[in-house]
């Protein structure tokens, strides 16, 4: 463990803080975090930790979700500019338009990779690990899925009885990966199993041996008897994959697979946010009330 990591462990004890990290942040942060997981795990765990302060190492919607679910807790974000671009790729005006057309038939389903404002205008939130279960449980025959077209499409193929309306948003990291990129990786490693995040294009999803959230991908590779895998999501997951499976091999494609926003979180920024000891994330009370209801509904429907 290096000096900065030791300093963080000391500071978090002093401040009675817990460190939560997403699988896409740098290895040196995952190494010292109290909890590391996918978006669903982090939001669920935020409701269970006893510490008063949560340092959320991930992009801002993850910190916002933790705060919305626990308004009485202090949520510290090491870098306020670490923001998922897809979180902004939908509009309240379009939601209102769809609601005016479909009335009570429609449920507005909002991927957690979204702003609090979009959540506040939605009926329920989902993550990549529970979207199928949550959408199936909804009584509404029409689903307006925001902001991610890819995840929405993936879910819609598995729930043909509902009508889906899509929104033109997507993850800039996952959607640049093409079928050709995966084919090239497979040509180098024939026989490797293909693990795909559902934010990917449909042409990539169709090639997958397994489709799931970051936690799902890690759990699947760990349980699998296969020895080689092509990992089609952000490369931060490699840390946990290799830690749990030192005897297996994991490969990437040539399409980058790095989320610059997740990589904005550094040990220095965690030290500084703990030392500053500020008030943390603040949100207007009316926004908190409206945006927390769809998150709570997600937790209820996915348990
Ligand atoms: P997970 O919920 O699968 O961890 O995904 C979050 C994310 O941002 C994927 O790009
Ligand atoms: Fe957002 Fe994509 Fe980064 Fe995930 S990988 S946080 S969806 S930009």
Ligand nearest to the CA of 171: 2
Residue recorded with tokens 């902004």: 88
Q: Which of 147, 213, 264 to mutate to test the pocket of ligand 1 (most atoms within 8 A of CB)?
A: 213
Pairing of strands 106-111, 249-251: unpaired
Q: What is the pLDDT of residues 244-281, one digit of tens each?
A: 999 999 999 999 999 999 999 999 999 999 999 999 99
For the record, the structure tokens of 71 come out as 């308004």
For residue 101, the model assigns a pLDDT of 98
Q: Which of 21, 22, 133, 302 to mutate to test the pocket of ligand 1 (most atoms within 8 A of CB)?
A: 22
Ligand nearest to the CA of 87: 2
Ligand 2 closest atom vs CA 234? 5
* Burial of residue 224 (number of CB atoms within 10 Å: 0-12, 13-18, 19+): middle
Q: Rounded CA gap, 84 and 228, in Å?
A: 30
- Per the DSSP assignment, residues forming a β-bridge with 34 are none
For the record, the structure tokens of 20 come out as 């939560």
Task: Return the number of other C-beta atoms located less than 10 Å from residue 297's C-beta.
Answer: 18
Q: What is the DSSP letter of 246?
A: T
* Ligand 2 first shell, C-beta below 6 A: 59, 84-86, 113, 171-174, 199, 234, 259, 261-262
For residue 303, the model assigns a pLDDT of 84
For residue 24, the model assigns a pLDDT of 98
Q: Rounded CA gap, 174 and 165, in Å?
A: 21
Q: What is the pLDDT of residues 194-252, one digit of tens each?
A: 999 999 999 999 999 999 999 999 999 999 999 999 999 999 999 999 999 999 999 99
Which residues of the chain are under the pLDDT cut of 70? none
- Per the DSSP assignment, residues forming a β-bridge with 188 are none
């Amino acid at each position: 463990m290096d000096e900065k990591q030791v300093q963080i462990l000391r500071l978090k004890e002093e401040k009675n803080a817990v460190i939560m990290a997403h699988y896409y942040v740098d290895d040196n942060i995952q190494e010292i975090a109290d909890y590391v997981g996918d978006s669903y795990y982090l939001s669920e765990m935020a409701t269970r930790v006893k510490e008063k302060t949560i340092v959320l190492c991930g992009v801002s919607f993850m910190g916002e979700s933790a705060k919305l679910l626990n308004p009485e807790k202090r949520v510290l974000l090491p870098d306020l500019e670490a923001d998922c671009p897809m979180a902004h790729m939908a509009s309240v005006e379009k939601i209102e338009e769809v609601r005016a057309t479909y009335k009570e038939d429609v449920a507005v389903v909002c991927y957690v990779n979204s702003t609090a404002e979009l959540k506040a205008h939605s009926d329920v939130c989902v993550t990549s690990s529970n979207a199928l279960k949550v959408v199936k449980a909804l009584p509404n025959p029409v689903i307006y899925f925001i902001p991610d077209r890819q995840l929405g499409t993936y879910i819609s193929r598995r729930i043909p009885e509902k009508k889906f309306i899509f929104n033109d948003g997507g993850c800039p990291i996952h959607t640049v990966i093409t079928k050709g990129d995966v084919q090239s990786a497979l040509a180098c490693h024939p026989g490797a199993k293909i693990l795909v995040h559902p934010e990917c294009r449909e042409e990539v999803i169709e090639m997958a041996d397994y489709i799931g959230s970051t936690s799902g991908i890690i759990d699947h590779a760990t349980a699998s008897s296969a020895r080689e895998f092509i990992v089609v999501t952000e490369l931060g997951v490699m840390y946990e994959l290799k830690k749990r499976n030192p005897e297996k091999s994991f490969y990437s494609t040539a399409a980058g697979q790095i989320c610059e926003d997740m990589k904005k979180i550094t040990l220095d920024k965690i030290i500084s946010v703990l030392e500053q000891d500020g008030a943390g994330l603040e949100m207007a009370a009316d926004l908190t009330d409206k945006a927390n209801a769809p998150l709570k509904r997600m937790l209820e429907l996915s348990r």
